[in-house]
Amino acid sequence: MNAMMLSDYDVFLFHEGSLQQAYQFMGSHVRNDSRGTYTEFCVWAPNARSVSLAGSFNDWNSAGYELQKWNREGLWAVRVDGDLTGETYKYEITTLSGERKLKADPYGFASEKRPQTASIVYDLEGFKWSDEEWLEKRSGSSIYDKPMFIYEVHAGTWKKKDGKFLSYTELARELIPHVKEHGFTHVELLPVTEHPFDRSWGYQSTGYYAPTSRYGEPHDLMNFINECHRNDIGVILDWVPGHFCKDAHGLYQFDGSFAYEYEEERDRENYTWGTANFDLGKGEVRSFLISNARYWMEVYHIDGFRIDAVANIIYWANQGEQSPNEGAIGFLKKLNQAVFDYDSSILMIAEDSTDWPQVTSPVHYGGLGFNYKWNMGWMNDVLDYMETPPAKRRDVHSLMTFSLLYAFSENYVLPLSHDEVVHGKKSLLDKMPGDYWQKFAQYRLLLGFMCAHPGKKLLFMGSELAPFSEWKDLEEIDWHLMNYDFHLKFNSYFKELVHLYKGAEALYELDHQSRGFEWIDVNNSDQQIFSFIRRGKKENDHLVVICNFSPIVYHGYKVGVPHADFYREILNSDAGKYGGSDQVNPAPLPVCHETYHGKAGSVVMTIPPYGTVYLKPEYGRGE
């Protein structure tokens, strides 16, 4: 990262809310020029009476290390002779009321390991990237017509070593082969910005520019991302620009005033999470956050962001009525424009549970400017359906079909995330009703249906092992399950399913276009069977998908299909090798060329209990 000296124009942009690289002069930087080597510190504290520097280099005695106020808007700076790389520091701020606060650097590139809270002067230069091929491939292609299956990971509990966290280096060595083996295209890391409390999972941050020191140094995280890219794996960061934690060393009442947060209590206090909401209409806050996004892209080569709690950003918090927060909405638009101006191939994924329109439409078309949105409606409806006793599913049939009424109104990711397997919600496997065998069968069915439904995919770590226990956020995932037959067979099914998904253009090329999906039979609520077609871009490239959400086997079942000579079963979740009852269709299914279900022909087949079947058309003589 090149050092950039502060100009009057930079200062204007910073306060106006349009500076995208504030990290190049804010925070601490070692400089070399005609005056020699020195370390420069710059901080924004608009209502401070005075600001001094305390650190390991001056025995935490700030006398003689006063920062000078540059302008009336509250920028303060000081130069200290010498290279202070590796030294710890805080800003000692005297408020207008005379109170003294010790604050970590909002722009600090590294932090002490908890429970210590000081910032560290860190040189981000020096890491040798070798991911040019990945970056070139990413910039030269569009994700919209590509497969995307995201593996959501909490770095602290994916795996542990002697009860301790794996380092970024160890994660690179162990997580990446696991991700490749299972076919995931991306890793999404729950927030890795510095945070004081392990069980906040990173969602309550104090250091937006500092990768958490729990797992190592910034260069170690760079290495993890670099190795992901060298193995054709994208890296998405969970990012929280809506609110921040209120620990004393962090952003809250930074200079004694509400600099980063709203002044009004009803707007500021996020009582649900015990945090403070960013004032997203304030210029300096916008520059802080938009620069932070640019920082992670430019310095760490990340491939995208999952923006947390967009509903809390769009609407004013803690008010009885849902009224739009125009300042925050303006921030989201400005953020997305800035990101895509920098790199149009970046993923900007909104975790949004509202019905706000055009979330994934460009700003110049009146949208918020994201390119993806979590489909929370699909997730809630499908899990509600799956948790309904099979005998009663006919009464809630529309839960499985409703999503197709709006599936192409936005660009969606289908999420089965950490939020669905924690806090007493049970694991995905344990949500399934019935006995041991039935739970596994329905879990295979669920994931088979998910892979065939329009939209990109996301699954939380551990779910590929089919755990009975929900996520235990102080322990590693249940690796011991691979010693048990049903879990091992499920894992084999999952790997084959994901690899099939990635190899079948019909399952992803037209994810966001209505011509990529067509119902065959949408109304069979009595038998709880759904059948539909997924289409690719090429003529005749399609798959027929049949999902049976009942425990009944149907022999001689007739399904309408598009024109072909035969259909071959390429996936059956009930296959014996996966732990199923082996109600499969081993031979090619000849097409009867008479109209059925409104289609040009039909096949007669076996429908497995609690099963997903994918059929591929063949032309010519079947074997």
Tens-digit pLDDT profile for residues 178-208: 999 999 999 999 999 999 999 999 999 999 9
Average pLDDT score over residue span 596-620 = 97
- In this predicted structure, the answer to whether residue 170 has a pLDDT above a threshold of 70 is yes
Identify the band that residue 620 occupies on the pLDDT scale cut at 50, 70 and 90. Answer: confident
Closest among 238, 259, 476 to 348, alpha carbons compared? 238
Which CATH number fits the domain that encloses residue 70? Answer: 2.60.40.10
pLDDT category at 4 given cuts 50, 70, 90 is very low
Is residue 447 in some structural domain?
no
Instruction: Give the pLDDT band (50/70/90) at residue 319.
Output: low
Percent of the chain residues topping a pLDDT of 90: 95
Residue 419 has pLDDT above 90, yes or no: yes
Give the separation between CA 244 and CA 249, rounded to whole angstroms: 12
How far apart are alpha carbons 579 and 586 in whole angstroms?
17
Element containing residue 326 per DSSP (H, E): helix 326-342
Q: Nearest Cα to 605, choosing from 542, 517, 544?
A: 544
Which of the 8 DSSP states describes residue 384? Answer: H
Q: Which two tokens stand for residue 249?
A: 């060393």
Confirm whether 489 is domain-assigned. no
Binned at pLDDT 50, 70 and 90, residue 8 comes out as confident
Position 3 scores a pLDDT of 38
CATH code of the domain in which 546 resides: 2.60.40.1180
Please identify, among 104, 120, 136, the residue that sits at the C-terminal boundary of a domain: 120
Residue 564, in any domain of the structure: yes
* Whether the Cβ atoms of residue 460 and residue 420 lie closer than 8 Å to each other: yes
Q: What is the pLDDT of residue 1?
A: 32
Query: How many independent structural domains does the chain possess?
Result: 2
Task: Determine the average pLDDT of the residues in 162-171.
Answer: 97
Tell whether 161 is covered by a domain: no
> Is there a domain that residue 396 lies in?
no
Whose structure tokens read 């590509």? 146
Average pLDDT score over residue span 264-278: 93
Assess whether pLDDT exceeds 90 at residue 64. Answer: yes
Catalytic residues, which ones?
A: 308, 351
* Non-local CB neighbours of 191 within 8 Å, separated by 6+ positions: 201, 202, 203, 205, 237, 238, 239, 240, 308
Check whether 568 has a pLDDT greater than 50.
yes
pLDDT of residue 35: 83
pLDDT value at position 303? 98
Token pair for 514: 């209505």
Percent of the chain with pLDDT over 70: 98
What average pLDDT does range 47-69 have in this prediction?
A: 97
Q: DSSP for 55-71, please give it.
A: EGGGTT--TT-BPEE-S
Distance CA 54, CA 578 (A): 61
Tokens linked to 362? 């460009």
Please report whether residue 70 resides in a domain: yes
In angstroms, how far is the first alpha carbon of the chain from the final one?
61
d(CA 151, CA 230): 17
Q: Please say whether the beta carbons of 496 and 535 come within 8 A.
A: no
Mean pLDDT computed over every residue of the chain? 96
Give pTM, 2 decimals.
0.96
pLDDT in tens, 420-437: 999 999 999 999 999 999
| Last residue of one domain, picked from the residues 65, 100, 120 | 120
Residue 225 included in any domain:
no
Q: Are strands 456-460 and 149-153 parallel, antiparallel or unpaired?
A: parallel
Mean pLDDT calculated for residue range 19-43: 95
Select from 375, 289, 305 the least CA-distant residue to 347.
305
Mean pLDDT value of segment 462-472: 97
Q: For residue 350, is it within any domain?
A: no
Confidence of residue 320 (pLDDT cuts 50, 70, 90): low
Query: pLDDT-derived band of residue 2, with 50, 70 and 90 as boundaries?
Result: very low
pLDDT digits (tens, 9 = 90+) for 378-391: 999 999 999 999 99
Average pLDDT over residues 532-547: 97
pLDDT at residue 321 above 80?
Answer: no
Q: Rounded to the nearest 5°, which phi and psi values hold at 221?
A: -70, -40
Least confident of 2-11, 162-171, 450-459: 2-11
Task: Express each pLDDT in 133-149 by its tens digit.
Answer: 999 999 988 999 999 99
Instruction: Grade residue 623 by pLDDT with cuts at 50, 70 and 90.
Output: very low
Report the pLDDT value the prediction gives residue 621, as an integer from 0 to 100. 60
Last residue of a domain, one of 68, 85, 120: 120
Is the pLDDT reported for residue 233 higher than 70? yes
Residue 622 pLDDT grade (very low, low, confident, very high; cuts 50, 70, 90): very low
Domain of 86 in residue numbering reads as 8-120
Amino acid letter, 325: N
Mean predicted confidence (pLDDT) in 239-247: 97
pLDDT of 392 over the 80 cut: yes
